[in-house]
């Protein structure tokens, strides 16, 4: 969440929230929330969750949320966002989704309800890569962004979903350096200000201006 207490936003292409900013990893197409552009993306929303249930019932084995249901739901949420959200984006870093179980009382407690299970162990690339390929093979996907509703512009130069090194480099080079450099320079500026108040020092810029 943004706050005026942290001062003005950093210049582009730096992200105000860094790695935690909405859309960096999770994308806009949530399965239990509305798109950030349309309202409060934090509060549980019944409509996309019912879509998740309906698609799981229709496509999943014995009405479960399996790999087939995941492929269909991802595709439908992408289409929903293209139709409704003028600033929607769908990029390779947002290819995997997490679903939190919710109790019938809708008290958002931090544990799963009975018979709602999560992955029992950490997922590595050996597990994730074939699952991602299986999901996106059913509905082939090119990353892109919306410039107005129903105007999804493809970004063919964005790393492919199978190019994990390219995705890593894109995030590392686009998201991380600018906030870190800015923070270091600000702190060095404070340091120089304290010293130069009483000493005739020349300011140095080890990380560039």
pLDDT, tens only, 107-133: 445 555 676 666 677 777 787 778 888
Nearest to 161 by CA among 127, 129, 126, 123: 129
Tell whether 181 is covered by a domain.
no
pLDDT of 96: 42
Q: Are 159 and 153 spatial neighbours (Cβ–Cβ below 8 Å)?
A: no
Tell whether 77 is covered by a domain.
yes
**pLDDT < 70 stretches in the chain:** 1-3, 6, 10, 12-36, 39-43, 91-113, 115-119, 175-176
Tell whether 202 is covered by a domain.
no
Tell whether 191 is covered by a domain.
no
Tell whether 83 is covered by a domain.
yes
Task: Give the pLDDT confidence of 60-73 residue by residue, as tens digits.
Answer: 999 988 899 989 99
Report how many domains make up the chain.
1
Beta partners for residue 153, in sequence order: 145
Give the HSE-up count for residue 141: Cα atoms under 13 Å, Cβ half-sphere.
31
- Containing structural domain, residue 53: 4-156
How far, in Å, CA of 57 to CA of 206, rounded?
A: 58
Tell whether 139 is covered by a domain.
yes
CATH number of domain containing 113 = 1.10.489.10
């Amino acid at each position: 969440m943004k706050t005026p207490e942290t001062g003005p936003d950093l210049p582009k292409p730096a992200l105000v929230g860094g790695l935690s900013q909405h859309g960096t990893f999770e994308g806009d197409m949530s399965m239990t929330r509305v798109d950030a552009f349309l309202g409060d993306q934090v509060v549980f929303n019944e409509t996309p969750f019912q879509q998740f249930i309906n698609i799981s019932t229709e496509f999943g084995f014995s009405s479960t949320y399996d790999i087939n249901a995941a492929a269909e739901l991802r595709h439908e949420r992408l289409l929903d966002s293209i139709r409704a959200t003028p600033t929607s984006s769908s990029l390779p870093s947002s290819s995997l989704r997490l679903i939190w179980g919710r109790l019938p009382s809708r008290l958002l407690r931090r544990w799963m309800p009975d018979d709602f299970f999560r992955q029992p162990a950490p997922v590595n690339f050996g597990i994730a890569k074939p699952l991602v390929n299986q999901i996106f093979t059913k509905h082939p996907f090119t990353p892109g962004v919306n410039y107005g509703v129903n105007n999804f512009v493809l970004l063919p130069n964005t790393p492919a979903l199978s190019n994990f090194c390219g995705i890593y480099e894109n995030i590392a080079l686009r998201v991380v350096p600018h906030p870190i450099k800015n923070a270091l320079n600000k702190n060095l500026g404070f340091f120089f200000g304290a010293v130069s108040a009483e000493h005739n020092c020349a300011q140095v810029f080890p990380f560039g201006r």
